[in-house]
Amino acid sequence: MELEKDLLARQEARTLARAAEQAQRRLGEMSQAQLDKIVEAMGAAFTREAEALAEMAVKETGFGNVPDKTRKNRFASETVVAALRGMKTVGILKDDREKKVWDIAVPVGVIAAIIPSTNPTSTVCYKAAIALKSGNAIVFSPHPNALNCTRRAAEIVAAAAEAAGAPRGSIGCTSIPSLDGCRELMGAPEVKLILATGGPGMVKAAYSSGKPAIGVGPGNGPSYIHRSADVGRAMGCILQSKTFDNGTVCASEQSIIVEKEMEEAVIREGKKLGFYFLSTEEAGKLSRLLFKPTGGINPAIVGKSALTLAEKAGIQVPGSTKILVAREQEAGPTRPYSMEKLCPVLAFFVMDSEDAVLSRAVEVLTHEGSGHTFSIHAEDEGVVRRFAAKVPVSRFLVNTPAVLGGIGESTGLFPALTLGCGAVGGSSTSNNVSPLDLINIRRVAWGLDTAPQPQVTVNEDLVELLTAKILERLG
């Protein structure tokens, strides 16, 4: 009898989870040097296939472009792996001699990892690296629209890991695209943690699974160009970031906010760089393309170039156009440009004062994107301090492209492709997720020498009597 697809998917998830549990027992006994060798081998193998995987991902999903996806793949296989070198994730992490407490790393076990269609190969390498670095096994669940490239990425890191000493089953990947299979994997008793990168529905399912989960909320980061900024440099940073892989990275800028006195300079510098400022009529045409009538983003526009978007919307733009910009003044469900747009499209807010800029930035993030990312371009450290104390994000970036700064390529943040949004964004962490988020800490605490000593009560009358008797005998 031929089994139905959902039953096959559920059985495959169970089988992979069980194999991963067996492999993890051996991984958990490995030394730091053994795990480091495995991670280095995975990175090297993935680097060799970085461009081929990028080509495969673009062809299968239709999102982004090959050069930038290649760069993302190398970021995962080179930059992330380099950051892991020297990081201690096994044994005693800390020995506090004064308090007599040891911190011992304990792997969480088997990790279920949900992979998005926007970053279907680089996320595999990144998550596999941080999982095995910390002694965990991992099973991937690909997005149905990126099944083949995700499975190929998983095959590459799995083969390299096994050749370097990892037990078979340390890295698994489902082959049957099924929501039932994904749920079965997340609910498998062998799975101890879920790493969820994807749409809001999938992240919510991860948090509703009854398992500990690290999820990522939507990005909708505003970028404030302050009057103290170098406007040309600021617009160059936004151009570099918003066009990177055609806007598919969630940390990318989604709007520009300026005070009225900066409006002319921003438009002037933007036009030099290929920003096209839409008329009201053109913005209306594009908005109908960007979002479905039900309010969700139209998947047909994700990761497409500005020229392609303009053509689809019936808008005539110069051939040099890199980013489409629409005027906006409010944020909310009836204001499509105030939401996350996974393509090179920006909202443009012009406010009357710095106070109004701060209020609008908070309003935009409260509507969508709380806890994720905000960027500011300014030379005035005072305004940076003021906004950093008020804006509800986990990554507050200064004078850098938001994509590269958010993932830790152009900043000192840990290089990561899973960016926690903290409690305000509905996430369990605000970190750029690293191996240290995938371990538990066992604390060994020794008794201290400062324990209170027993008190002795002295009977002074008895002491006086005994003293007198002793002196009498001696006399």
Residues carrying an active site annotation: 250
Q: In what order do the strands lie in the sheet with 171-173?
A: 171-173, 137-141, 110-114, 191-196, 213-215
Q: Give the three-class secondary structure for 117.
A: coil
Which whole-number Å values give the CA distances from 361 to 47, 222, 367, 376, 454, in the listed order? 38, 6, 10, 11, 62
Q: What is the spatial distance between Cα 373 and Cα 381, in angstroms, rounded to a whole number?
A: 19
- Name the DSSP class of 372: E
Which whole-number Å values give the CA distances from 398 to 182, 224, 348, 391, 407, in the listed order? 38, 10, 19, 13, 14
Would you give the distance in Å from CA 326 to the centre of its chain? Answer: 28
| φ and ψ at residue 10, rounded to 5 degrees | -65, -40
Cβ 120 vs Cβ 61: under 8 Å: yes
Q: What is the spatial distance between Cα 331 and Cα 368, in angstroms, rounded to a whole number?
A: 9
Q: What is the spatial distance between Cα 424 and Cα 371, in angstroms, rounded to a whole number?
A: 6
Which whole-number Å values give the CA distances from 156 to 36, 46, 144, 198, 457, in the listed order? 17, 7, 19, 22, 75
Q: What is the spatial distance between Cα 307 and Cα 315, in angstroms, rounded to a whole number?
A: 9
Q: What is the spatial distance between Cα 101 and Cα 287, in angstroms, rounded to a whole number?
A: 58
CB atoms within 10 A of CB 233: 12
Residue 342, both tokens: 């996974």
Q: What is the spatial distance between Cα 142 and Cα 120, in angstroms, rounded to a whole number?
A: 7
Candidates 196, 272, 259; CA nearest to 233 is 272
Which whole-number Å values give the CA distances from 185 to 85, 110, 173, 192, 259, in the listed order? 31, 11, 10, 11, 49
Which whole-number Å values give the CA distances from 61 to 181, 296, 318, 341, in the listed order? 21, 18, 27, 17
At 419, the amino acid letter reads: L
Cβ 222 vs Cβ 257: under 8 Å: yes
